[in-house]
Amino acid sequence: MTTDNSAYLDATKQPIIIGVSISFIIIIILCVVLRIWARSISRVGFGWDDWLCLAGVPFALLSPIFGLIQLSNGFGKHEETVSPEALRRYAYLFYILLLFYNPGLCFFKYSILAFYLRVFPIVTWLRYSVYALAILVTMWFLGTEFILIFRCSPISAAWTPSPGKCISEQTIFITQSVPTIFFDVAIITLPISLIWGLRLARSSRIGVVAMFLLGGLVTLMSIVRLTSTLTSSDSDLTCKRPYHFLPSK
């Protein structure tokens, strides 16, 4: 084995995965605590938007937690250095994670939509737009879950080297990511015209709109991740994408 090959096989992204995963866990928990604290001091009371957000938290935590668990299965190391049994466990847990990933996205989208109904309860066009988006998100969720469950025939071919046919990884990521990006853009821009029409100082209106558009940064990250995934030619299962197990939203 040459020195270059040895350095390649010894390379690992596990310290990065550990740092980023733990950071996401802390950030998610901190955001939940701050939300509960803000509701308690404002005396506004919990609404459907809060409960839907809390329902999505366990699903959001699964991604970084699974990332840490998968370290024992070679996550972050080159595939050539991982045993076949560890690779099988890695693929099986990844299959399970994908099934629980989309519910978190849906709950957070529902939460924002419910928040709009709380803030603008009498705006008819907004209410119907919220209902329509919620229905579309639900249809996308059910369709995507069906594809994820049955993407391989037999199903076990998703995590075992047994003969079978599977939908390509590119198709899976497009089916999952493109509609999500569309929904995010639609949800973020939905109330901007109403906010701009509020009787506030121009600087205040700009600040409120800017706060909503900050959500666009997350959408931008999703676009970058999707582009990187689709253009990557690296077939290294355990090392090609060290952020598979990190939440996108």
Q: For residue 165, what is the enclosing H or E element?
A: strand 165-166
Q: What is the pLDDT of residues 70-105, one digit of tens each?
A: 998 888 888 788 888 888 898 899 889 888 988 988
SS3 152: strand
In a domain, 153, yes or no: yes
Domains in the chain: how many in total? Answer: 1
Q: What is the pLDDT of residues 14-57, one digit of tens each?
A: 888 899 899 989 998 998 898 888 888 877 778 888 899 899 99
In a domain, 106, yes or no: yes
Q: Tokens 């890695």, residue?
A: 90
The pLDDT value recorded for residue 234 is 56
Q: What is the pLDDT of residues 162-173, one digit of tens each?
A: 778 888 877 887
d(CA 205, CA 198) in angstroms, rounded, equals 7
In a domain, 100, yes or no: yes
In a domain, 89, yes or no: yes
216 has a pLDDT exceeding 60: yes
In a domain, 243, yes or no: no
Least confident stretch, 53-67, 101-115, 204-218:
204-218
Domain encompassing residue 124: 11-231
Of 59, 146, 63, 75, residue with least CA distance to 108:
59
In a domain, 42, yes or no: yes
With a threshold of 0.85, does the pTM exceed it?
A: no
243 has a pLDDT exceeding 50: no
